[in-house]
Structure formats: C-alpha cells, structure tokens
C-alpha cells in the first residue's frame, strides 16, 4: 500500500534545498556504477561524503523523523541518508 506523506518539508526548506542543489558540485554518476551499468548510467550525483550532501541529508532525515505520518506508516528501525541525483536531457 502506498501512503502519501504530505508536507515533509516546509516550503522555505524546499527553497533552501533547491538553492543549494543548484550551486552544488555534481559528479558523474557512472563513477559509482558497476562495470556493466557504467555504460548506461548517465546521471549526476552529489558525492555522499561531501559536506553539502551530509547537511542536506540531515535536514531531510530530521524532517522525516519528526513527521508522524511517516513514522507511523514506515515504522523505520533506521533511516539512511538520501542520495542526491539529477538527470539532464540527452
């Protein structure tokens, strides 16, 4: 069953995240792909060990941990930090 989890982030937080992501240093996603996937993986991503990825991930984890609908629906034992990826045309 899919349960919508509305308004995890406040609009100001979304604006903040987007502003940081717009200025981020993105790396080639194929660097983290296995040998077979490397030829077809065409995304960009933030390095998971970058300070920005860790800060933005913490913001999202905090929002999720404080969202009653998410916690009651998912019952997470542990929530892992998000990966930040983007795709462009072509």
**Coil, strand or helix: which one is 8?**
coil
Q: What is the pTM of this model?
A: 0.84
The domain segmentation of the chain, as residue ranges, is: 26-86
Instruction: Answer positive or negative: Cα dihedral of 19, 23, 28, 31.
Output: negative
Mean pLDDT along residues 13-24: 97
Please state, as a whole number, how many other Cβ atoms lie within 10 Å of the Cβ of residue 84: 21
Tokens of 45: 């991503």
Confidence of residue 90 (pLDDT cuts 50, 70, 90): low
Q: pLDDT for 42-83, tens place per residue? A: 889 999 999 999 999 999 999 999 999 999 999 999 999 999
Q: What residues have CB less than 8 Å from 25, skipping those under 6 apart?
A: 46, 50, 52
Mean pLDDT along residues 35-44: 81
pLDDT at 35 over 90: no
Distance, CA of 20 to CA of 1 (rounded, Å): 33
């Amino acid at each position: 069953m899919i349960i919508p989890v509305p308004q995890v982030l406040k609009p100001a937080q979304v604006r903040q995240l987007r502003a940081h992501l717009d200025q981020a240093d993105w790396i080639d996603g194929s660097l983290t792909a296995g040998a077979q996937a490397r030829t077809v993986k065409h995304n960009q991503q933030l390095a998971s060990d970058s300070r920005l990825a860790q800060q933005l991930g913490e913001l999202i984890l905090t929002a999720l941990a404080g969202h009653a609908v998410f916690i009651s629906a998912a019952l997470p034992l542990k929530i892992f930090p998000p990966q930040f990826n983007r795709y462009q045309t072509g």
